[in-house]
Structure 1
């Protein structure tokens, strides 16, 4: 029995074995520490190498039983397997560790190709060392290769397509592309296919031959400058409206406040593209910084544009051939709208002293003025105080600029029923705060001329309005937790100051 194990060990323990073991397991441990993302593949490779070592020992046992031919065949099989595993680990060392350290990026398909060629070279070397004539092998396999190539032409086409895509860098992992009706980000490029991850979380597989035969659009690339993608928003308005007016309103819609994904440079533009019977077609063009949330960004821009057009009294045009039906019930929506306007005025504390007739007069002159989320309604310091806004629905943030005598920042949230910009409209003073729509805010705009007609006809109400303005102003400047407490003394001085400015601004005398 001792003689058996001596023969087996002598056959198994060859001079190159310890060096091979040291190289393979040493390289495996290094890669395991430095390549966390490939640890599973490294562990699997080392386990397979261990099986190959056991396979070599089994061939040694066969040799000890005098089965020399079988022992040589088994030994050679596991030598080939061991070599393939070592080539795999060397490939990881070069392509995943060494080349990235010198900032040399090798496409994955090139890595696979070179590793595969290494496998073939190793197998041919072992066949040559085993005594096989490689010339006859190549000649014999030529016909077989032709048959295989003909039967697998689609697969070969996909493989060559993937190889050319990588070599030419036509597309890269991370690119956003559109092909046909599919848009997505390239997640991987393999031998046979290219995978796209769509915005809906779907993975779409395109054979590489399809990409080679058809055109596709690269929307953005990780190496591309930002902003990345220009978007076009089309809309029609009546041709009777001056183009300069439409373009001014459209650009102001996305230029008055920063939008998270709309680039400031290059600047947005609005162009007149065409016109027809009764309509003019415009395009609002802007650049996206990040192409992934394209639909949410487009939705925000559309909302702001629609609100801006409505505030400016610009209606979207309809086709001339549309049939318009009229019903006797058309007055019902108008009556409901008037009721809503009167309710908005009644909800405002500063107009509580007005009569029903005066409220109705003002309601008929209100202008619907919606604001989208993030729109700047009023800006602190502005002197264009020719109107105020009634907040019929939604919320508005109040911001103060930082000054030497006061801290700045967010100071309040105004809700339904509040009045915006009343001090500026009634006294001519600059706007005292910046108001930004916190949500979609439905407002009504009251101009100075309408209010002036009411105040001139009944100037005695000015004192009560001034008192309410002074108290509102004082409460807004108080911390949120103290606004329910009684107001401090000295309020009458501010009331008198506001009343004096109203008299001077509107030119009335209340007796």
Structure 2
């Protein structure tokens, strides 16, 4: 190598070193300032144009003259590309997206930029390099056709990406399930959709696969989502108590919405527990695991406070203690019923031994909150005594609605007017909470009246009192009343005898 040519080689090396330094600056700057990403292409083109221009000046003749048009074309093209990026940033990114709050799909923006770059490249090639762009376009069309046949799946993904960008069935940040793969959408490009799973893994799905498969979007059109919590409780706890405890626990979770309100359903009767399902609503599907965890913990503490047992989900072979005989069960029932009968105003004047004689034929029934004991218009062949709980007396109004007439507490009787007068039920009775009710049939009254004739007079006076207090029944019996009270009681006595077959 001639030492006299060494400075010339050093002069050619300086632009290469400068371009390498420029690449380093771009790499570091892009990591620290994301806005430089849009300037990456035009700055690279301009740097290459300048490098070519400086390098050509140190080459022997005729290379400088030959390379100068290419250098100018690169620099001009870099300027046009920079203008295209500026128009996109100002017109679309700022005016449309930020000021007018209009969503422009990222894929469409990128497609428009690429098309503008392609047209600008054709113009620069025609004006500055005198190339026949018509033949170039025809050649590129043929090449595109051949490439398209060889890469149909790729083109399908690109077209599907365009459809996703326009229709937006999924978008960045959405929680989705694609063909059993669940995760959060972190990126949608021309070719593929990237999903991050709950395990922190990334799934790359071609866009044509996303468009073909069933996609469940948990975020659009509304982020409202239901969280299910299943719990088993011991059989000895009434369902309404367990449901109330689960709802109270769910309402303590700050991420559970008040509307729609939490609800609980009895799902099934399992081997060792009654299984319940709580439905709670949240606005963040991504937090459903944390919400389910918190609600489960709150249910456990709520059950502890209320003494509700969550049984072990196992089968245990236990030798049960000897069950009481049928006679012992009836005796226990009689011991519960007789004190209630003695305290009731209906059975005043009847001795305890006589009540004991018929109590074993009375039924002690259990009802849940909201159940109907009987309905208005039903045939009345029984009297009921409220042993435990609370009941509401309801009557239909002429307008078709319902009116609450009274609320009955423990120890009060229900349905005596229909039974004693042989009339249909004049009102309906709904149990307000879990209740136990003693059912007394008409034949038991006949036995008591035969044993105690004065009991019939007591019932007549009781019905007369109820009749006077009940405005609706007084109107129904208005034609049968006489002017004096004695006559009214006499008619009531005859109606009771007729209703009971005496």
TM-score, normalisation: structure 1: 0.49
TM-score, normalisation: structure 2: 0.49
Larger-Rg structure: 2
